[in-house]
Each structure stands twice: as structure tokens, then as C-alpha cells.
Amino acid sequence: MSVLTEISENLQKGKAKIVKQLVQQAIDEGIPVKQILDEGLLSGMSVIGEKFKNNEVFVPEVLVAACAMNMGAALLKPLMAQEGVEAAGKVCIGTVKGDLHDIGKNLVKMMMEGKGLEVVDLGTDVSPEAYIDAAQNQGCQVICCSALFTTTMGVMEEVVKAAETAGIRDKVKIMVGGAPVTQDFCEKIGADKYTPDAATAADAAVELCKAI
Ligand code: B1M
């Protein structure tokens, strides 16, 4: 079995220490960073993402796999700049104002990082102004809003309006998600993309970054 396949398989099992050792081994063998990332770490994370989407694995498995991915990716990060591996794009993510639920938001963030995106995590209880500030001052191409309350979903519409008021609506895409959010709601408030889960959110964010 190649070291890259071993990285992918151990990541899926959440074996963080082994993944770290294998990534170091791959670096020492002279395998290009992009190949280690794509065919080792991201390949494993994609399998987990698909399984999560199909209810074959659940939140704990995703969290341990993400932890393994982060440990492996930490070794690659300094080498990426040297080898000129570009991030797939830059996004910001947060749970909207009035809402402190962050488990789903964190999963979405991890999946997005797993796809090679640079993610600015704004945390929870995020005001519309804070999302706009991240887009304007940190160069985020996509604003990602998560909400778990039927009562806080409305803040997403305020984010869309704040982007219009700031004059950046044509320069930034707005993604929405979270248990009570629907496609109809997304269209009603004029956001760009709704996705039901973390894996599809990551795929959609990569596509939106390419498009903008
Ligand atoms: Co709260 N809570 N909670 N809670 N909580 C809910 C949401 C609730 C539905 C429970 C219930 O009553 N049945 C209810 C909301 C009712 C409503 O609005 N209709 C509720 C309530 C009422 C409350 C409190 C008010 C309770 C109280 O204090 N009286 C309080 C409020 C706190 C606040 O925010 N101000 C509260 C507190 C808490 C805890 C702190 C105990 C804890 C949160 C811990 C944390 O997040 N750090 C908690 C939890 C855990 C839940 C439930 C049980 C689970 C939520 C969760 O993490 N799910 C929840 C009931 C339920 O949903 N069954 C409930 C797992 C997570 C992976 O799913 O976040 O949906 P989810 O994310 C998914 C997708 O939605 C999607 O991807 C994720 C993975 O696939 N997704 C996106 C999420 N964001 C996305 C963004 C995208 C795309 C996809 O693009 C940008």
C-alpha cells in the first residue's frame, strides 16, 4: 500500500498520530506537498464527507478525522508557501447573531479546510457588520452563515442587505445553512447558495470561489 493510501485510510479512522507520522514520511520521501494533500489527506476527508452525507458515519467520526487532517496539514502548511500551492479560495464563516450553536458551523469549517479553502472563523453570535468587515478587509470571497434557531435565521437576510448597503454584493457570494434553513428561504432572502450539510457546503464554496 502506498504511503498516500495509508494516510487516507488512517485519516478515515481518525488515527491522528499515525497520520502525522505518515505525512512526515511522505515529505521525507520527496512526494510533492500538493500530492500529499490531494491524494492523502483530502482524499480521506472526502470519503468521510460522503459517508457523513449518507449517514454512514456521524459527528464524532467526522471530528476525529478532522483532527487527524489538521495534524497532517499542519506539517504541510509551511511547505505549501514554498512550493506555491494556492488555496482554493478564502471564505469567512460564523453562526449568526443571537445564536451560540457552533457544532455544525465547525464541521462546515473543517470540511472547507479539507477542500483546501482558507477559512476565517468569526465564531458565534456574529453581527451582519462583522461578516461584511471580513469580506471587505480580509478578502473573503464567500460569506458563510450558519443558524440553528428559527428566530435567528432572519439575521441572514440582514447580512444580504448589509452587503448591498456596503456596495459589495456583486463582489461576494453569500452561503446559508443550518437545521432550520431551506432552499426556499435562501431564495426568499436573496442569498446565493443553500446547502443542507457540511460536505456539500464545502464543495459549493470551492465552486463559488472559482466563479467569483
Ligand atoms: Co440548542 N437548540 N439551545 N443547544 N440544540 C436546538 C437547535 C433546538 C432545535 C432544540 C429543541 O428545542 N428541539 C432548539 C431551537 C428551537 C428553534 O429555534 N426552533 C434549541 C434551543 C431552544 C436552545 C436554547 C435556547 C436552550 C435553552 O437554553 N433554553 C439554548 C440557546 C443558546 C443560544 O444559542 N443562545 C441552546 C443551547 C444549546 C447547547 C449549548 C446545550 C448545545 C449547543 C452546543 C454548541 O453548539 N456548542 C445545543 C445543542 C447541541 C442543540 C441540538 C440538540 C443539536 C444541535 C447540533 O449541534 N446538531 C439542537 C436540536 C437538534 O438539532 N436536534 C438544539 C448537530 C450539528 C452537526 O447539526 O448544526 O444542524 P447542525 O449542522 C449541520 C447542518 O445543518 C449543516 O451542516 C452541519 C453538518 O452537516 N450546516 C450548514 C450548519 N451550518 C451550515 C452552514 C452552511 C451549510 C450547511 O453554509 C454556510
pLDDT tens digit string along 90-109?
999 999 999 999 988 988 99
Fold match between 3-83 and 90-211? no
154 Cβ below 6 A of ligand 1 = no
- Residue 160: per-residue pLDDT: 98
**How does pLDDT run across 131-156, given as a tens digit for each residue?**
999 999 999 999 999 999 999 999 99
- Residue 78: per-residue pLDDT: 81
58 Cβ below 6 A of ligand 1 = no
**How does pLDDT run across 56-65, given as a tens digit for each residue?**
999 999 989 9
Residues of the chain with pLDDT under 50: none
Q: How many angstroms separate the alpha carbon of residue 101 from the centre of ligand 1?
A: 5
95 Cβ below 6 A of ligand 1 = no
What fold does the segment set 3-83 form as a domain? 1.10.1240
Which class would CATH give 90-211? Answer: alpha beta
CA distance 179 to 98: 16
Residue 150 CB neighbours (<10 A): 10
- Residue 73: per-residue pLDDT: 86
Q: How many angstroms separate the alpha carbon of residue 103 from the centre of ligand 1?
A: 8
Residue 126 CB neighbours (<10 A): 25
> Nearest Cα to 70, choosing from 104, 28, 35, 106?
106
Q: Are 11 and 68 in contact (CB under 8 A)?
A: yes
**Which pTM was predicted?**
0.85
Task: Give the number of the atom of ligand 1 that is nearest the alpha carbon of residue 59.
Answer: 67
Domain ranges of the chain: 3-83, 90-211
205 Cβ below 6 A of ligand 1 = no
- Residue 85: per-residue pLDDT: 67
> Nearest Cα to 102, choosing from 50, 145, 153?
145
99 Cβ below 6 A of ligand 1 = yes
